[in-house]
Each structure stands twice: as C-alpha cells, then as structure tokens.
Structure 1
C-alpha cells in the first residue's frame, strides 16, 4: 500500500486542486474512494480523543474560538489539569478504542516554565500507556519541540486554519508564517505533523484550495489532516455564520485524500451537526479518522459520544483502527 512513494506528489498547483474539487460530485467521491483503498484499509477508522488540559483565557483573537479571553462566551476558564486526571482520561480513552490521545492547552505559545514541565510529564505518562500522544499548545520553538519528542510525543497539531490570503481576516495576533514556522520546528524535531483547516469562516472556495495546496506542497505531507467545519460559538465574531454545507465538507475531504494519499484525513469539528448519512459520505470520500470522547466535547464544543460513534461505525461496516474489533 504505502510503499509506492512515486504516487505521492508535492508539486500540486492551486488550479489542479481546484479542478479536482470542482469535479462532478459522484466522480470526485469515486476517485477519492479509490485512492483511499489503495493506501488504507477501507473499513478502518482511527478513533482519537482530544482533551482540553487548559481551557480558556487565551490572548489570541481567532474569530472562531470561544477560548479567546476577549470574547464574551459562557466557557469557563480552567487551569492546567493535574497529571493524574489527564492520565485517567487517557486510560479511559484507550479502553474505549482510541489509539491517539491529544492534549490541548489554550496558549498562544509554549513558554519554558513549570506548566511546560508538567506537559512533558503528561506526555511521558500517556506515552507509557501505548497511545499515540499528540499535543496542541500553540506556537513552539524547535528546542521545545525536541523536548516533547524526547518525552515521547508522537504528533503535534497546528492547523493552518485557512489560506495565507484570507488569514488576516480571521486572526491578527499571529501570522500565517508563524504557523508554518511551528510546523517546520515540529518536523525538524522528528515529530509527526497534524495540520489542516476550518471551512465556514467566510472564506472562498479558492481560499479552501489554497490552504490544502500549502499542505500538499510541503516536502513531507502532514501525517494527519483534520478537516473542520466551523463550530459556531455564541459570543465569537463568527457565531452567526451559516452552517457548513455537507457537500462542501465532502469535497474538501475528497480533495485532501487525492492530494495527500498517505495521510490520515480526519473528520473533525462539526460532526454533531451532521447526521449519520452525511458522515457516511465523508467516510466514503476518504476520511479515516474522527475525534471522539467520553465527555461528548471537542475542546469546548459539543461532539458525539463514544457509544454513538461505535454504533454508527458498526452500522456502516467500519471498525476502530488497531483495536482488533
């Protein structure tokens, strides 16, 4: 499957990807499904659990995020969780079928302090459980990334969010280049990359393709590519944006699958607003990973429960990856 590296391209153009995105829908899904089956077991879906280990109070101004301190949302600020609490969540996630456990902190950037030391300890303990350990902590330097790698971190999530051209419409407190630099630091430290974007921010179709083109043109594609539908949080500037159309999600997933065939394509935020049929289309288009969890939350927004997800996968003839179900 993954040994035919000649089939991976890193020289995609925006026009090529836009042509793929705009294909007749059934043709696009058929082609993406064929690529998916060449590179991945078609019946397997990776279950990943995302836990907010430090919630709210972020100084950034990301227009979609309820954790930004400047917006008036009903999200409660929560200090960094105790390590034992995080490990307990990780154990339950593993027992429920998750093979990846991601810890998120609402920081603008990693600082070399006691909180980072505690994150390092969390990484070590979750790694010892045999899970793929992932973190999303904001910007970080290469030396900080190396500390995480030495502790056993498997992946680091740092989404581009949107295109370079549209980026300033969504965030002013850091630049698009800041995000790319963090991804480079992660890659240089020997950690796998998890990076994708959000649709429904008010961006154009061209912006969506430009974001995918940035990822697909990297010397090494992100090993994981989350495709998020905007979760509209009351109190944020984007709370009144329209719900993302399911066919836009399917087209994004299918295009990502064709452009980055070896990557895990993760159906991420927004699943609670999708019914089972809509999610099935996303799996057919090449999604092979989802976020799930005991708390029925994806950071600070609602998410389906693990039992609902397992029931859905069973009805669709899918199974959790790496669990032997």
Structure 2
C-alpha cells in the first residue's frame, strides 16, 4: 500500500463508516504490511509541571479556571525527572514523554531545565518526547540539539468543533507549532480526543487534517475522554470501544507507518477491548499509574496483558522517524 497525503474527506468517511468487522480486518491487514503486529511500544508520560494553566481546554483538569482536585506544582527538578525516567526504563518503557501545563514555551530558566532533562533522558538511550504547549522554530531547534526525538501537540478535534472546546488559542496556532517542530526535524506526535461532544464528521475531519499534512505524524495518539469533575465536560458519556476501534483502524489505513497510540481512556477498557484496538492497528500504549493527571492501568496489569496477548515491547529508535533522527 502506497503512502498517500492526498486523501479526500469522502474517502476517509467511506473507510470510517465500513462495517466494523470489515474495517478491523482491513486495519489489521495494513498494519501487518507496514509493522510488526506483535510489537507494541511502551511509553511513559510524566507531568513535569502540573496545573495552573491559563488556557480553557474544556476537558483539562489542569486549567486554572476550573475547580478540580489537581494540585498545582512548579517544574520538577532535573534529577527527580531523570530518576523517574530511569525507573520507567527499568519497567520496560522505551519512550519517555514530559508534559508541562504551559500555554507556550518561554525562553527562561524553566526552559533551560527542560533542555537539561532532554539531554539526560536522551543519554539513557530512550526516545525522549515533550509536550509543552506552543513552540517557536528556534525553541524547537534548541530541543532538537539537546536530543529531543519527538514533540507532542494534539489537534484535539476538528477545526469546526475546535471553538466549542478551546477559545484561548486557535487551530492555526496548533498547526503552526506542528510546522515548527517539523521544520526542526523533530518527529511529530499529533492526534486527538474523542468523546468531546463531536460528530463522526468531526472525527473524520481531524483524521483528514493529519493524513494530508506534508508528512504524516510519526505518532498519532487516539485518546478517549476521561471526564474529570470540575471541568465543563464532566458529564460526557463513556466513549464506546467501537468508536475507538473505528478511529484506530481508520488512522492505521490512511497513515500506515504511523505509531497509532492507544492513549487516554485505557483505564476504562477491558483487556478484550484493548485487544480489539491492537488488532485494528494500535501499536503503542502509555504505561504508568497516571497519564499526566488522569488514572491509567497499573504496570503489572499491562505486563499481564502483554503475556496474555503474546505482545512484546517494541524497541526504541525503530522505523522511519528513527532513521531521520540518527542521520
């Protein structure tokens, strides 16, 4: 199957709306053509600066304007972060992602500390990823020089639905940050969240935006909303596993070489439901007891799932993104 960047919304809609078993079968077939289906990358996501964010993302418990149970803490010390990265590596993670509740990166001592964190994690031989909000091209280059492998900046939803979820930055702001990351030759991690009150057409539009970028994101997280009390979306119903499977299989078919990451919401899924997602084309999970500030399955439960499903952790620095990184 050739890699295409000229998908139309109509083509993606036709794929997304196929009978579910047919869609899973095609996702699985494409997955086998481009990836090792028994390999799933295990990533760890750590909140290095929590809460107090000035943005108004309706799903996020870290927004300062919402009354949630999230405790605000300043940027962690470099040594503490490197210790947590080492523990993540020892428990099987090959990618370590650091998230800070900032609207944008500022050129100050905190950014210098993040650069030191990147250098330290990179020296361990792990893929190092950051998600720090909006980023200039110069800042992206500094992170690249420090050894940053990937930068996460999700679209969250479609451009049309975006204003219903966030008003403190624009969709173009997100696309500009992704372009700055791409220009610095850093691997792009960008996906979205389902369960935000969007329509199927919104989901299809978001996938269309990702699949028609000049290069597909090397990593596409598919998140199911975990509703948090105190946020505007606290009453949203649980996302159906079939909706997750449709998103994962469609993403796999239109972006065959991307790492499709089964991300937030896994804690509410059974092993059987997660197995369907792996079958449909997901080949990465986030491990650890928390995803930033929301609950996640325990490491031992994931190890047991890997054993049951005969999955093995994917090594770091594999695939097209790694070839570019090593060059």
TM-score (norm 1): 0.96
Partner SS for 2:65: coil
Partner SS for 1:71: coil
Map residues 281-300 of structure 1 onto 2, 5 A cutoff: 281-293=276-288, 296-300=289-293
Shift of 1:288: 0.2
Partner SS for 1:165: helix
Runs of 4+ in 1 over 6 A off after TM superposition: none
- The correspondence for 1:279, drawn from 274, 279, 295, is 274
Is 1:177 aligned to residue 182 of structure 2?
Answer: no
Shift of 1:96: 1.0
CA distance in 2, matches of 1:250, 1:126: 33
Q: What residue number does 2:299 align with?
A: 306
CA distance in 2, matches of 1:122, 1:228: 26
Structure 2 unpaired stretches of 5+: 317-327
Partner SS for 1:134: strand
Shift of 1:251: 0.2
Q: What residue number does 1:234 align with?
A: 229
Q: What residue number does 1:113 align with?
A: 108
Is 1:225 aligned to residue 220 of structure 2?
Answer: yes
CA distance in 1, matches of 2:83, 2:301: 22
Q: What residue number does 2:320 align with?
A: none
CA distance in 2, matches of 1:182, 1:107: 14
CA distance in 1, matches of 2:256, 2:210: 12
Partner SS for 2:160: coil
Post-superposition CA distance 1:161-207 (Å, at most 9, x none) = 00001000000000000000000000000100000000000000000
CA distance in 1, matches of 2:301, 2:83: 22
Q: What residue number does 1:90 align with?
A: 85
Shift of 1:67: 0.1
- The correspondence for 1:55, drawn from 41, 50, 53, is 50
Q: What residue number does 1:77 align with?
A: 72
Q: What residue number does 2:323 align with?
A: none
Aligned residues: 316
Partner SS for 2:182: helix
- The correspondence for 2:2, drawn from 4, 7, 15, is 7
Post-superposition CA distance 1:192-245 (Å, at most 9, x none) = 000000000000000001000000001100000000000101100000000001
Post-superposition CA distance 1:18-61 (Å, at most 9, x none) = 10010011100000000000111010000000000000000000
- The correspondence for 2:27, drawn from 18, 28, 32, is 32
Map residues 148-159 of structure 1 onto 2, 5 A cutoff: 148-159=143-154
CA distance in 2, matches of 1:93, 1:36: 27
Shift of 1:313: 1.0
Is 1:319 aligned to residue 319 of structure 2?
Answer: no
Is 1:21 aligned to residue 16 of structure 2?
Answer: yes
Is 1:128 aligned to residue 110 of structure 2?
Answer: no
Post-superposition CA distance 1:87-119 (Å, at most 9, x none) = 001001111111100000000000000000000
CA distance in 2, matches of 1:68, 1:18: 33
Structure 1 unpaired stretches of 5+: 1-5
Shift of 1:317: 1.1
Partner SS for 2:43: strand
Partner SS for 1:166: helix
CA distance in 2, matches of 1:270, 1:42: 22
CA distance in 2, matches of 1:89, 1:40: 29
Partner SS for 2:87: helix
CA distance in 2, matches of 1:231, 1:79: 24
